[in-house]
């Protein structure tokens, strides 16, 4: 069978026998193998000085008929043009074009024992004459060597090739390794030496641009992948994309989620088999406080910080910003606000709240609204008007107040709410347009009785928790904290007797789970810091003096009363230091990320401790236990 490779030794040997040539190879065999490689190294050395990559090209496979003709010619002859009997050697400082790249010189060999390093040359001649380049002229003009020169092939001494001195060690290395040099036919039609004889002397480059091209399908997939990242990054903002969570968060793999099966795993730990292999189980008995502590200890820091956030959002759908805040940052609560366009109709509101709850996979979500009735009736377009606190207070009938609380709880539960930012327990003494119609009366006893009755009705079902507000009291100020900083000038004794009396009585009843702190200056306690940022008011008065151990919630940290003192992120840190647990104000993932970063920085300096964070999270989860969101697991 005829060898498939036209350059194989079998084809060459057969052709030589047919032509009557006994020892004539393609490039002659008059020199010994050692001289071949010395001269070859001399050519490479010349190329190296010019800093030109050597390419050994055999033929262009684009034309089948031309390739066949070249194949037949190359069995016996090779076209080597010489100009004037001498080679023109290029200098290193001369620019060389693509069509004038130097090729290694070819010399004759007198033996067939050593394989040829180079089997063929391109049409560019050894002298660098580009007129013989088929890529330039378009054709190959090949003639037998005898037509080009009368010098026999086996007499190379008549056309000597200048030799460059070669270090002995390189010559010896080449002689020792030449037998193992493989030559492969590249897919593009180029012969390449795949292994250089010396690691310090690469003979040829086997780089093939065609093989490095990317497939169209792969390129399309990469472009689509990058487009998704860019679009997500533009949507969620630069802070989240480049912030502490990293860019991978846009692919749905947020770094803050931690153990999303936390509660499931805890439930498994709380029951165990009596004996190995037994199907009977025993329940681990613990108090609610112990169960909440167990949860807190299993949470990551980001999960804990997320629980300390009550966020807002715009729009009537479960959009990307609110989805990100819930699923990625594990925010503990969401405030639904009609002014933000969150409420359209019953079906929309119910579906929206259900989607938000479903997105919170680690700790159940608290969904809040400030449904007071009267001037602050957020659901009036859905359920009709509800009586204001002033209207209920005027009846002086606790039963009506209790019934109003039960009705609100029924309305809220039907949509999925479990936290109501009511009732207001301010004791009105002067007119304030912002507080008009929102208080139960102008005496501490009246407010305590009616607000207490409403709170009982609201929380009776065990599905909705109420919030007393606005501590330390807005009943004796005329400035709206949304617009400026109120100044409360009452003495401490009057504050205790009037403004704090309802708080003291209701806290003592054990029915209060959350209290909201407002932003105002209380001159008798802290003349420099707003109440929401003051440890003297939150820690000393609300925690210690009044004995409240539930959740302390800030009013919005974006109000003008507070922004004159600190940014939202700074206010978040100061509020925690002062003693607050649940921080209101963030309305985007960027806001939450910024608050996270500020709190972590404060923790790194020791201003806020891990124990302080744990205390707040414990109180928040105890409130959720009261809502029925975190029941102790049972068999």
Local confidence band at 320 (pLDDT 50, 70, 90 cut-offs): very high
Does residue 310 contact residue 419 with C-beta atoms inside 8 Å? no
Does residue 503 contact residue 455 with C-beta atoms inside 8 Å? no
Identify the CA nearest to 202 among candidates 213, 211, 210, 194.
Answer: 194
What is residue 235's predicted lDDT score, i.e. its pLDDT? 54
pLDDT at residue 360 greater than cutoff 60: yes
What is residue 286's predicted lDDT score, i.e. its pLDDT? 85
Between 95-99, 282-286, 609-613, the lowest mean confidence (pLDDT) is in 95-99
If you count them, how many residues does the chain have? 635
What is residue 634's predicted lDDT score, i.e. its pLDDT? 75
- Tell if the pTM clears 0.85, that is, is over it: no
What is residue 262's predicted lDDT score, i.e. its pLDDT? 84
Task: Quick: pLDDT tens for 434-467.
Answer: 899 999 999 999 999 999 999 999 999 999 999 9
Q: Is 482 among the residues known to form the active site?
A: yes
Tokens 């190359």 sit on residue: 74
* Residues above pLDDT 70, as percent of the chain: 59
Does residue 77 contact residue 147 with C-beta atoms inside 8 Å? no
Between 59-63, 322-326, 506-510, 601-605, the lowest mean confidence (pLDDT) is in 59-63
d(CA 529, CA 520): 8
Q: Is 513 among the residues known to form the active site?
A: no
pLDDT at residue 49 greater than cutoff 60: no
Phi, psi of 424 (to 5 degrees): -80, 130
Q: Which residue has the higher pLDDT, 83 or 412?
A: 412
Task: Quick: pLDDT tens for 115-155.
Answer: 443 344 444 443 444 443 444 344 334 444 334 444 444 44
Does residue 236 contact residue 320 with C-beta atoms inside 8 Å? yes
Tokens 């770094």 sit on residue: 255
pLDDT at residue 480 greater than cutoff 80: yes
Local confidence band at 190 (pLDDT 50, 70, 90 cut-offs): very low
pLDDT at residue 273 greater than cutoff 70: no
pLDDT at residue 96 greater than cutoff 80: no
Catalytic residue among 370, 383, 499, 555: 555
Q: Which two tokens stand for residue 585?
A: 């104000």
Catalytic residue among 13, 272, 381, 482: 482
pLDDT at residue 413 greater than cutoff 80: yes
pLDDT at residue 251 greater than cutoff 90: no
pLDDT at residue 207 greater than cutoff 80: no
pLDDT at residue 419 greater than cutoff 50: yes
- DSSP annotation of 311: E
Q: How do beta strands 309-311 and 333-335 pair?
A: parallel
Cα angle, residue 481 at apex, residues 601 and 391 outer, rounded to 5° = 130
Local confidence band at 266 (pLDDT 50, 70, 90 cut-offs): confident
* Cα dihedral 573→577→581→587 (10° resolution): -10
Identify the CA nearest to 411 among candidates 426, 396, 422.
Answer: 422
Average pLDDT over the chain, rounded to an integer:
76
Cα angle, residue 370 at apex, residues 444 and 490 outer, rounded to 5° = 35
Half-sphere exposure of 52 (CA within 13 A, CB side): 25
d(CA 469, CA 555): 9
* Strand order from edge to edge, sheet including 333-335: 419-420, 366-369, 333-335, 309-311, 583-584
d(CA 579, CA 540): 10
What is residue 186's predicted lDDT score, i.e. its pLDDT? 47
Identify the CA nearest to 334 among candidates 418, 451, 259.
Answer: 418
What is residue 227's predicted lDDT score, i.e. its pLDDT? 79
d(CA 421, CA 98): 79
d(CA 519, CA 467): 16
Does residue 318 contact residue 356 with C-beta atoms inside 8 Å? yes
Average pLDDT over residues 377-392: 97
Average pLDDT over residues 286-297: 94
Looking at 270-334, list the stretches that DSSP marks H as alpha helix, in order from N- to C-terminal side: 288-298, 301-307, 320-327
Give the chain's largest Cα–Cα span: 131
Average pLDDT over residues 291-297: 95
Phi, psi of 186 (to 5 degrees): -70, 150
DSSP annotation string for 252-280: T--TT---TTHHHHHHHHTEEESSTT---
d(CA 599, CA 573): 6
């Amino acid at each position: 069978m005829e060898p498939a490779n036209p350059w194989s030794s079998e084809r060459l040997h057969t052709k030589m026998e047919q032509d009557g040539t006994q020892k004539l190879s393609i490039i002659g065999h008059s020199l010994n193998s050692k001289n071949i490689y010395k001269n070859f190294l001399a050519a490479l050395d010349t190329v190296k000085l010019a800093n030109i990559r050597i390419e050994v090209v055999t033929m262009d496979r684009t034309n089948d008929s031309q390739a066949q003709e070249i194949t037949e010619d190359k069995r016996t002859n090779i076209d080597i043009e010489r100009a004037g009997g001498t080679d023109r050697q290029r200098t290193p400082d001369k620019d060389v074009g693509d069509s004038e790249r130097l090729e290694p010189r070819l010399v004759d060999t007198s033996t067939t024992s050593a394989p040829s390093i180079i089997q063929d040359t391109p049409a560019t001649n050894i002298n660098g004459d580009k007129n013989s380049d088929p890529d330039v002229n378009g054709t190959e003009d090949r003639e037998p060597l005898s037509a080009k020169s009368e010098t026999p092939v086996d007499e190379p001494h008549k056309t000597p090739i200048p030799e460059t001195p070669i270090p002995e060690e390189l010559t010896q290395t080449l002689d020792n390794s030449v037998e193992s040099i493989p030559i492969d036919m590249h897919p593009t039609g180029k012969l390449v030496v795949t292994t250089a004889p010396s690691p310090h002397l690469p003979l040829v480059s086997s780089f093939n641009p065609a093989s490095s091209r990317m497939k169209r399908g792969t390129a399309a997939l990469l472009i689509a992948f990058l487009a998704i990242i860019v679009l997500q990054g533009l949507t969620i903002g630069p802070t989240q994309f480049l912030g502490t969570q990293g860019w991978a968060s846009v692919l749905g793999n947020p770094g803050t989620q931690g153990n999303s099966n936390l509660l499931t795993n805890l439930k498994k730990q709380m029951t165990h088999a009596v004996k190995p292999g037994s199907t009977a189980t025993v329940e681990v008995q613990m108090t609610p406080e112990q169960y909440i502590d167990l949860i807190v200890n299993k949470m990551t820091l980001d999960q804990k910080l997320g629980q300390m956030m009550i966020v807002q959002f715009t729009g009537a759908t479960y959009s990307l910003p609110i989805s990100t805040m819930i699923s990625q940052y594990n925010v503990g609560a969401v405030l639904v606000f009609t002014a933000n366009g969150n409420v359209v109709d019953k079906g929309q509101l119910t579906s929206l709240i259900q989607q938000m709850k479903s997105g919170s996979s680690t700790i159940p979500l608290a969904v809040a609204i400030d449904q007071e009735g009267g001037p602050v009736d957020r659901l009036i377009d859905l359920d009709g008007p509800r009586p204001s606190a002033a209207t209920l207070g005027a009846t002086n009938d606790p039963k009506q107040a209790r019934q109003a609380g039960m009705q609100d709880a029924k309305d809220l539960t039907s949509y999925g709410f479990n936290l109501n930012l009511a009732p207001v327990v301010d004791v009105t003494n002067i007119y304030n347009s912002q507080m008009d119609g929102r208080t139960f009366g102008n005496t501490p006893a009246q407010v305590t009785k009616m607000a207490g009755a409403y709170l009982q009705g609201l929380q009776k079902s065990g599905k909705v928790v109420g919030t007393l507000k606005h501590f330390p009291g807005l009943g004796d100020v005329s400035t709206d904290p949304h617009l400026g900083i109120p100044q409360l000038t009452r003495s401490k004794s009057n504050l205790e007797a009037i403004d704090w009396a309802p708080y003291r009585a209701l806290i003592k009843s054990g029915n209060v789970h959350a209290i909201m702190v407002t932003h105002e200056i209380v001159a008798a306690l802290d003349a420099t810091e707003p109440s929401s940022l003051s440890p003297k008011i939150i820690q000393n008065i609300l925690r210690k003096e009044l004995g409240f151990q539930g959740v302390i919630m800030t009013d919005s940290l974006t109000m003008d009363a507070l922004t004159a003192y600190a940014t939202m992120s700074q206010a978040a840190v100061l509020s925690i230091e002062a003693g607050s647990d649940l921080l209101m104000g963030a309305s985007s993932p960027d806001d939450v990320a910024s608050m996270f970063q500020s709190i972590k920085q404060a923790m790194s300096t020791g201003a806020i401790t891990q124990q302080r964070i744990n205390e707040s999270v414990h109180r928040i989860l105890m409130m959720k236990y009261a809502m029925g969101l975190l029941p102790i697991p049972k068999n």
